[in-house]
Chains A and B, each alone.
Chain A
Amino acid sequence: MKKFVLTAAAAAVTLSLGLGTAHAAEAIKAPSKSWSFSGVFGTYDQAQLQRGYQVYKEVCSSCHGMDLIAFRNLADLGYNEDELKALAAEYEVTDGPDDDGEMFDRTARLSDYFPSPFPNAKAAAASNGGAIPPDLSLVAKARVGGPDYLYALLTGYEEDVSADVLQSIYETETHKREVQYAADLEAYSVKKAKYDEAVKTDSSLKEPKMPEDPGPVESVEDLGLPDTSSFNAYFPGYGIAMAAPLADESVEYSDGTPATLSNHAADVSAFMMWAAEPSMDQRKQMGIKVILFLLVFTGILYAAKRKCWSDVH
Chain B
Amino acid sequence: MSEHLKTNNAVIKWIDHRLPVFSMMNETMIDYPAPKNLNYWWNFGSLAGLALVVMIVTGIVLAMQYTAHVDYAFNSVERIMRDVNGGWLVRYIHMNMASFFFIAVFIHMFRGLYYGSYKAPREILWMLGVVILLLMMATAFMGYVLPWGQMSFWGATVITNLFSAFPLIGESIVTWLWGGFSVDNPTLNRFFALHYLLPFVIVGVVAVHLWALHRFGSNNPLGIEAKGPQDKIPFHPYYTVKDAFGVGVFLLAFSGFLFFAPNFMGHPDNYIPANPLVTPAHIVPEWYFLPFYAILRSIPDKLMGVLAMFASIGILFILPWLDRSPVRSAKFRPVYKWFFWLFFANCLLLGWVGQEAAEGLPLLLGRLATAYYFIHFLVILPLLGVMERPKPLPVSISEPVLKGGGALAGAAAKPMEKA
Contact = CB atoms under 8 A, between A and B. Distances in A.
Contacts of B369: none
A23 B414 contact: no
Given A2-B414, A22-B282, A283-B89, A305 B258 contact: no
Contacts of A290: 255, 259
Contact of A298 (B43, B249, B260, B352): B249
B287 interface: yes
Contacts of A8: 40, 249
Nearest to A135: B273
Contacts of B357: 23
A18 B351 contact: yes
Nearest to A146: B268
A276 interface: yes
Contacts of A276: 271
Interface in B17-56: 36, 39-41, 43
Contact of B40 (A3, A14, A22, A306): A3
Interface residues of A, number: 53
B418 A310 contact: yes
Interface string B244-267: 110011011101101110111101
Contact of A7 (B40, B92, B237, B356): B40
B260 A309 contact: no
B225 interface: no
Contacts of A2: 414, 419
A286 B259 contact: yes
> B interface, by DSSP: helix, strand, loop or mixed?
helix
A142 B170 CA distance: 34
A308 B259 contact: no
* Residue with the highest number of chain B CB atoms closer than 10 Å, among A8, A11, A23, A290: A11
B416 interface: yes
Nearest to A310: B418
A19 B242 CA distance: 29
**Chain B: interface residue count, which band?**
35 or more
B287 A19 contact: yes
Contacts of B416: 309, 312-313
Contact of B237 (A138, A288, A308): A308
Nearest to B81: A279
Contacts of A294: 248, 251-252, 255
Contact of B258 (A4, A7, A15, A287): A287
Contact of B348 (A17, A143, A283, A310): A17
Nearest to A287: B259
A291 B256 CA distance: 8
Interface string A143-155: 1101000000000
B75 A4 contact: no
Contacts of A302: 245, 248
9 contacts: A7-B40, A22-B284, A68-B75, A283-B92, A304-B241, A305-B245, A312-B238, A313-B401, A313-B416
Interface of B: 36, 39-41, 43, 75, 78, 81-82, 88-89, 92, 103, 106-107, 233, 237-238, 241-242, 244-245, 248-249, 251-253, 255-256, 258-260, 262-265, 267-269, 271-272, 281-282, 284, 287-288, 290, 348, 351-352, 355-357, 401-402, 411, 414-416, 418-419
Given A19-B264, A25-B282, A142-B272, 20 more contacts: A2-B414, A3-B40, A11-B103, A12-B253, A19-B287, A22-B284, A138-B272, A141-B263, A142-B269, A276-B271, A278-B82, A279-B88, A291-B259, A302-B245, A304-B244, A306-B419, A308-B238, A312-B36, A312-B238, A313-B401
Interface of A: 1-4, 7-8, 11-12, 14-15, 17-20, 22-23, 25, 40, 68, 73, 134, 137-138, 141-144, 146, 236, 276, 278-279, 283-284, 286-288, 290-291, 294-295, 297-298, 301-302, 304-306, 308-310, 312-313
